[in-house]
Amino acid sequence: MYTFSSKLKTFALILMILGVLGIGYGFLTAPKDIQEVEKILAADAHEGHHEAHAVAVENSIQEAAEHKEHLEHVLHQLQNKPWAALYVACIFFMLVSMGVLAFYAIQQVAQAGWSPVLFRVMQGITAYLPVGSVIFFVFLVLCGLHFNHLFIWLDPEVVAHDKIIANKSGYLNFPFWIVRAAIFLIGWNLYRYFSRKNCLAQDESKDDSFYKKNFNISAMFLVFFIVTESIMSWDWIMSIDPHWSSTLFGWYVFASFFVSGITTICMVTLYLKSKGYLENVNTSHIHDLAKFMFGISVFWTYLWFSQFMLIWYANIPEEVTYFVTRIQLYNLPFFGAVVMNFVFPILILINTDFKRITWVLVMAGTVILFGHYIDFFNMIMPSTVGDQWFIGISEISSVFFFFGLFIFVVFTALTKAPLMPKRNPYIEESKHFHY
């Protein structure tokens, strides 16, 4: 049995407290009206702004109106900033545990002989899913109640003046959207709940009936998952840009959180192994996880590039603005994500010996996880805060809070059951797995 070390618990609690304080600070310092925005912009522009202002005074009233419109636009972006920061961290950590759940289900259905020794670790990580889902769902409801302006199609004022969004309102309307979200989250959580329950019951059982049950529900879950995952990516991420669409977006989002999930499994396994809790996990298991990290990183890049290159090549104005915004305003995060999620892992993890060395994997895993946070940042920020983006207190604190919560929930769940399944039909093979 694993015992939650008090050091780690304190660390998680400190992260959560720091996070809450920072998130609160972010909301308190967000501008409330146009006057404040004007002050912020004036402070940003320094002296160059005064000259421009003097010229603007001489010009017509139309420009004054444009100036006011610009201020309102910036106000919305700055007000969105703490919300968007919270949203990115919230969806990222929830989807990381979803990635682990998908990986776990695949291992069950594929009857993998190497991974049963890691099932309890995976179940521990997916314990974050219920907690993350509730927070995420509350967040979506808050969006629907107009606490923020992340999803512009939720604003009836915007929809009334926008034919393109109005045409999509059969799909993009609050009741349908929130019901879909509820169905997806409940479906995923039900699978997690019953899969863990069956796995624990299998330990005490006299035959393999619970194992077979898990096999069946895992297969059904994977079908449900691939459909809901696709729709989820349209609902929760793509609809932030309601004027844009991409057909491979669902896969792209999937690859992003799937590789993050596998990396998380690897990191938690390495941590538990280093504390001496997983005596049956050897470097071959770690090597397999590292191969998955490597392979799915390349898969993510393939989808990233396919999405980018097809749109870049055809250069259709309706589609290409998505990337124009990102390349012009988010140049470093946009291309930095490719370096962190592709160039770095491919050079580090291509070597067989490196895939067995703990510190190499921790380093590669840290870069991959940061890289995929940046990836979600790139997907969500440009349409919510635009050029007002900054990785500042709001963003870092949101990550701190959810990271602390994640550690707390995951490692609490790990203490609830033995780390080694007893009567899994593949457990012996898994214990002696070597590559």
Task: Give the binding site for another protein (CB under 8 A).
Answer: 305, 308-309, 312-313, 315, 350, 352
* Dihedral-angle region of residue 49 (phi above 0 means left; psi in -120 to 50 means alpha; beta otherwise): alpha
**Gap between the terminal Cα atoms of the chain:** 27
- In the complex, least distance from residue 355 CB atom to another protein, rounded to whole angstroms: 13
- In the complex, least distance from residue 310 CB atom to another protein, rounded to whole angstroms: 9
Q: Are 293 and 259 in contact (CB under 8 A)?
A: yes
Cβ count near 313 (within 10 Å): 9
Alpha-carbon distance of 221 to 191, in angstroms, equals 7
Alpha-carbon distance of 392 to 179, in angstroms, equals 34
CA 160 → CA 145, 153, 164, 172, 384, distances in Å? 18, 10, 10, 13, 20
Q: Are 132 and 140 in contact (CB under 8 A)?
A: no
Alpha-carbon distance of 86 to 93, in angstroms, equals 11
Output 10 or 351, the one with its CB closest to another protein.
351
- In the complex, least distance from residue 303 CB atom to another protein, rounded to whole angstroms: 14
Output 305 or 390, the one with its CB closest to another protein.
305
- In the complex, least distance from residue 298 CB atom to another protein, rounded to whole angstroms: 11
- In the complex, least distance from residue 342 CB atom to another protein, rounded to whole angstroms: 12
Output 201 or 310, the one with its CB closest to another protein.
310
- In the complex, least distance from residue 350 CB atom to another protein, rounded to whole angstroms: 7
Alpha-carbon distance of 217 to 318, in angstroms, equals 41
- In the complex, least distance from residue 313 CB atom to another protein, rounded to whole angstroms: 6
Output 226 or 350, the one with its CB closest to another protein.
350
Q: Are 334 and 326 in contact (CB under 8 A)?
A: yes
Alpha-carbon distance of 60 to 131, in angstroms, equals 55
Residue 372, amino acid = H
- In the complex, least distance from residue 216 CB atom to another protein, rounded to whole angstroms: 34
Output 58 or 353, the one with its CB closest to another protein.
353
Output 244 or 308, the one with its CB closest to another protein.
308
Nearest Cα residue to 129 out of 145, 105, 154:
105
Output the six-digit token pair for 247.
């057909």
Nearest Cα residue to 259 out of 172, 346, 384:
346
Residue 203, amino acid = D
- In the complex, least distance from residue 322 CB atom to another protein, rounded to whole angstroms: 15
Q: Are 338 and 300 in contact (CB under 8 A)?
A: no
- In the complex, least distance from residue 296 CB atom to another protein, rounded to whole angstroms: 18
The DSSP annotation for 223-259 comes to: HHHHHHHHHHHHHHTGGGSTT---TTHHHHHHHHHHH
Output 307 or 397, the one with its CB closest to another protein.
307
Dihedral, 123, 125, 131, 132 alpha carbons, nearest 10: -130
Contacts of 185 (CB under 8 A, 6+ apart): 133, 136, 137
- In the complex, least distance from residue 312 CB atom to another protein, rounded to whole angstroms: 5
Output 313 or 359, the one with its CB closest to another protein.
313
Per-residue DSSP letter, 340: I
* Dihedral-angle region of residue 172 (phi above 0 means left; psi in -120 to 50 means alpha; beta otherwise): beta
